[in-house]
Amino acid sequence: MESPTNYKNKTEKTGENCLVHPVSLKGLIIPGNIFLAPMAGFTNVSFRSICLEKGAFFTFTEMVSIEACARKSEKTLHFLDRPVFKWNNLETIVGVQIFGAEPCRISPGLREIARYAPSLIDLNCGCSIPKILKTGSGAALLKNPRKIGEMLSAITAETDVPVTLKIRSGWDADHLNYLETGFIAEESGASLITIHPRTRSALFSGQAEWNHIKELKQKLKIPVIGSGDLFTPEDVYRMLATTGCDGVMIARGAIGNPFIFSQTVKLLSKGSYEKTIPLTMKLECAINHLERDIAIKGEERACIEMRKHFCAYTKGLPGSAFLRKSIVKARTKRDYKSMVDDYLMGD
């Protein structure tokens, strides 16, 4: 496999397209093919805005229940709110990811979602959380690809925006049906499909089977987005170069490290990037993230929920173990800033 630098030199000489490129769907052009994945408890407005500033081309809301939307649940619909701040003006387009198992609930649910002007609707058929599975939703739908087709057909009948699908390779190693599911999705009106090439049973263990991405891309006409084991810009390069997929969706690799987006874009377009993020830049980003959360949720709630993010931002920093131990006591912005100042003074 070619190195990113060699690839960059070759594309400059031959005029070939760069690995970074727009993704065209029905009525929607996404300016680039490096996405932030929807993640429950993480991809709220403030985190999405930071990832966009750092180079992500497209983001999704947290996953919402189509059933809860149909019931007009304020708690659920709140995830779709996009309050206007000067720092989130880059989110001009956004995807809404839904889960559900009953096609009959699609219509009333989408009527409520439409109020939030989504740019696309993504059906999740990959989530493996037990409380989602027991409703027959998420990865449970992989047991019945025809049901996925029914869900997609019901969605496309109710909306003019592109409809996309997120899947895993199958329920378990004995039931790898990603190709069957992909064909059904294409026939049912899906404009794009994302695959995390692990089975539901595998969860996040072992190594993602990127060859499943390659095979799906070779077989389908619609764009295929790859996900799974993307923790460095080099990982993204390898996935794009070896599978031929149309783009990538970065999930766990972005938590505490939104810089992965700008680094990846530089690697893919320039052939190299600065691998070291200055310590102060990481900590400033974490505090900025907290301040944005406070603007949305209020100080007490934001400071509590920020703990998981702050642990991720500081992971791997020299001598930062005591900093993460102090996070469990942080209840105000001042607490966080004092911890950071003390850490920097002791550096």
The dihedral built from the CA positions of residue 193, 196, 201 and 203, taken in this order, carries a sign that is negative
Q: What is the CATH number of the domain that holds 298?
A: 1.10.1200.80
Do residue 134 and residue 9 come from a single domain? yes
Do residue 219 and residue 301 come from a single domain? no
pLDDT of residue 8 exceeding 60: no
Q: What is the pLDDT of residues 110-136, one digit of tens each?
A: 999 999 999 999 999 999 899 999 999
Q: pLDDT at position 16, please?
A: 46
Q: pLDDT at position 15, please?
A: 40
Do residue 212 and residue 321 come from a single domain? no
Do residue 110 and residue 14 come from a single domain? yes
Q: Select from 212, 238, 270 the last residue of a domain.
A: 270
8 Å CB contact between 168 and 140:
no
Size of the chain, expressed as the number of residues it contains: 347
Catalytic residues: 127
8 Å CB contact between 219 and 182:
yes
In this prediction, residues 159-175 reach a mean pLDDT of 94
Do residue 176 and residue 314 come from a single domain? no
Do residue 327 and residue 214 come from a single domain? no
Q: What is the pLDDT of residues 220-271, one digit of tens each?
A: 999 999 999 999 999 999 999 999 999 999 999 999 999 999 999 999 999 9
Do residue 208 and residue 133 come from a single domain? yes
Do residue 67 and residue 15 come from a single domain? yes
How big is the CA angle at 94 (ends 91 and 100), to the nearest 5 degrees?
Answer: 150
Domain total in the chain: 2
Q: pLDDT at position 345, please?
A: 82
Do residue 82 and residue 206 come from a single domain? yes
End-to-end CA distance of the chain: give it in Å, rounded: 41
Q: pLDDT at position 98, please?
A: 98
Q: What is the CATH number of the domain that holds 172?
A: 3.20.20.70
Exposure on the CB side of residue 255, measured as CA atoms within 13 A: 18
Q: Select from 270, 290, 316 the last residue of a domain.
A: 270
Q: Tell me the one-letter amino acid at 143.
A: K
pLDDT of residue 152 exceeding 70: yes
Q: pLDDT at position 13, please?
A: 43
Structure tokens at 202: 């595998």
pLDDT of residue 141 exceeding 60: yes
Domain that residue 329 falls in? 279-346
pTM for the model = 0.93
